[in-house]
Amino acid sequence: MKKVKYNCLILLMGITLQYANAQVRTEKDLLGEKQIPADAYYGVQTLRALENFQVSGVKTNFYPDYVKAYAIVKLAAARANGEVGRMKKDRLAAIEKACQAVMDGKYHDQFLTDLYQGGAGTSANMNANEVLANIALEMMGKKKGEYQYIEPHDDLNMGQSTNDVYPTAIHIALILHNDKLIKEAKLLSQSFHKKGDEFGKLLKMGRTEGQDAVPMTLGQEFHAFGYQIDAAIEALRKSEEYLYEVNMGATAIGTGLTATPGYAEKCSAQLAKITGKPITTAKDLISATSSMQAFVMYSSAMKNLAVTLSKISSDLIFLATGPRTGIFEINLPALQPGSSIMPGKVNPVMPELMNQICFKAIGNDVTVTFASQDGLLQLNAYEPVVAVAIMESQALFYKSMPLFRKNCIDGITANEKVLKYYMERSVGIVTALNPVLGYEKTTELAKEALETNKGILELIREKKLLTEDQIKKLLDPATMTGQQKK
């Protein structure tokens, strides 16, 4: 027992000595002093956020474009302040280098605040201010924490507030990632269109409300999937335009207090130059600071993409049901065994995955809706959860669409015998016979087919209503599906 106590004492002494020897620097804010690890680029306000908001475990640096967006915003602000004669040249030069380093992917490990936080994003903004200030200090040959040379508030937050920096950074992050998202969506659409060309001459029965309708080609069906995605892409493009208006220069509530005249417009011009996007200053900064309309519009476009991809995924699952007791018109690539108990079962795992992503994105849009309609008067304090919701949806789609494309769509094959069987057995084909046999005769054929469980073509041949040559022409995909009219 004495030996155990002795070992514990030695261990505690070692830990105490380790902390005593640890290299730290002291920083202070209005609440008092804090010991900051000497090698940390963040400062006292970031440390307080790390203590207060250990919630999701998802940090700012989980989304590289979000970190890059902060550097872009701070770079534009510093240059704008330089243009209006407020930022000293030596400090501007150091800040520019610091921002560029972060934009190049460096120092991202220092952006540590939890995405869920109170204070309408103050912690995230101060994390960026402190990190960039200390990077700039080192680039000037100074030590971290020597804020008399470059100060997180006075220099990195010059003429700014969290209330204009934070939403602008989110706007920029969403714009940056939207380009990547659209690129993947276009590739997915192209995959569907490629299958549409491949299946262009395979005749099948279309269905409405789950019932036999009229003939179409499998190619038309897959082209339709592609066109639905094309429309969702267009909505994403149009909704991005709402993100181009930013409230930089608004400062606290939109009155521009502490910002130099002309700064707001110059900051937007710098943002446009850096991003290559037509960023502009909002017409009314008070409105832009309190309203979440841009986020609502973009989130709605994300929801539209989710609804589109979910509908397509469910259709693919339905078309691939079977193999013996379902529709089984197409084969989805077999990726893994589908059951721990049922031998031979293979599940449609990729459309199922895509559906789950879509359900999450739709739920995230609901979160954006509730968060955006709340928030009091001149500021919405719930912007952090809006950012979390939209960025999560973007990231999930960006990662899942390539998997869906490569592991599912590109490998789909058609069951041609099944398609032909349904065509010959379906009662729905009688609609195409109306111009040839007349409505009354085709109605009789449909009734007899249902009563006798015979196919329409089988009855036509029995009754010798059409010659084989007429049947062949009738069943030509171009004739049957209206493609000859295009």
Report yes or no on 11 lying in a domain.
no
| Range of the structural domain that residue 256 is part of | 164-414
Tens of pLDDT, residues 180-214: 999 999 999 999 999 999 999 999 999 999 998 88
Q: Cα 438 from chain centroid?
A: 52
Cα–Cα distance measured from residue 191 to residue 223, given in angstroms and rounded to the nearest whole number: 10
Report yes or no on 80 lying in a domain.
yes
In degrees rounded to 5, what are phi and psi of residue 254? 120, -5
Report yes or no on 384 lying in a domain.
yes
Task: Classify residue 280 by its DSSP letter.
Answer: E
The CATH number of residue 470's host domain is 1.10.40.30
Region 288-294 average pLDDT? 97
Pair 228, 333 in one domain: yes
pLDDT reading at 301 higher than 60: yes
Tokens 């500021």 sit on residue: 379
Rg (CA), the chain: 31
What are residue 27's DSSP bridge partners?
A: 34
Pair 218, 263 in one domain: yes
Report yes or no on 486 lying in a domain.
no
Pair 50, 177 in one domain: no
Domain boundary among 383, 414, 445: 414
Active-site choice (123, 287, 339, 372): 339
Pair 310, 398 in one domain: yes
Distances (CA, A) of 14 to 39, 310, 476: 22, 57, 86
Region 236-253 average pLDDT? 98
Pair 173, 140 in one domain: no
Pair 127, 178 in one domain: no
Report yes or no on 434 lying in a domain.
yes
Give the model's confidence band at 428: pLDDT under 50 very low, under 70 low, under 90 confident, else very high: confident
Q: Is 157:95 a contact under the CB 8 Å cutoff? A: no
Q: Is 67:125 a contact under the CB 8 Å cutoff? A: no
Pair 292, 382 in one domain: yes
User: Range with the lowest mean pLDDT among 76-80, 167-171, 198-202, 479-483?
Assistant: 479-483
Tokens 């971290």 sit on residue: 144
Tokens 């915003």 sit on residue: 73
Tens of pLDDT, residues 251-284: 999 999 999 999 999 999 999 999 999 999 999 9
Cα–Cα distance measured from residue 384 to residue 362, given in angstroms and rounded to the nearest whole number: 18
Pair 273, 385 in one domain: yes
Report yes or no on 422 lying in a domain.
no
The CATH number of residue 370's host domain is 1.20.200.10
Domain total of the chain = 3
Report yes or no on 188 lying in a domain.
yes
Cα–Cα distance measured from residue 263 to residue 79, given in angstroms and rounded to the nearest whole number: 9
Region 125-141 average pLDDT? 97
The CATH number of residue 128's host domain is 1.10.275.10
Q: Which of 237, 410, 228 is nearest to 307 (CA)?
A: 228
Pair 95, 209 in one domain: no
Q: Write down the pLDDT at residue 7.
A: 52
User: Range with the lowest mean pLDDT among 309-313, 368-372, 478-482?
Assistant: 478-482
Pair 118, 136 in one domain: yes
Q: Write down the pLDDT at residue 430.
A: 80
Q: Which of 77, 126, 133 is nearest to 102 (CA)?
A: 133
Region 413-418 average pLDDT? 97
Pair 62, 145 in one domain: yes
Region 63-77 average pLDDT? 98
Pair 144, 222 in one domain: no
At 347 the three-state DSSP class reads coil
The answer to whether the peptide bond before residue 343 is cis (omega within 30 degrees of 0) is no
Domain boundary among 156, 176, 201: 156
Secondary structure of 11-80 as H, E, C letters: HHHHHHHHHHHCCEEEEEECCEEEEEECCCCCCHHHHHHHHHCCCCCCEHHHCHHHHHHHHHHHHHHHHH
Cα–Cα distance measured from residue 140 to residue 157, given in angstroms and rounded to the nearest whole number: 19
pLDDT reading at 11 higher than 60: no
Report yes or no on 419 lying in a domain.
no
Q: Write down the pLDDT at residue 2.
A: 52
Catalytic residue status for 339: yes
Domain boundary among 156, 191, 207: 156
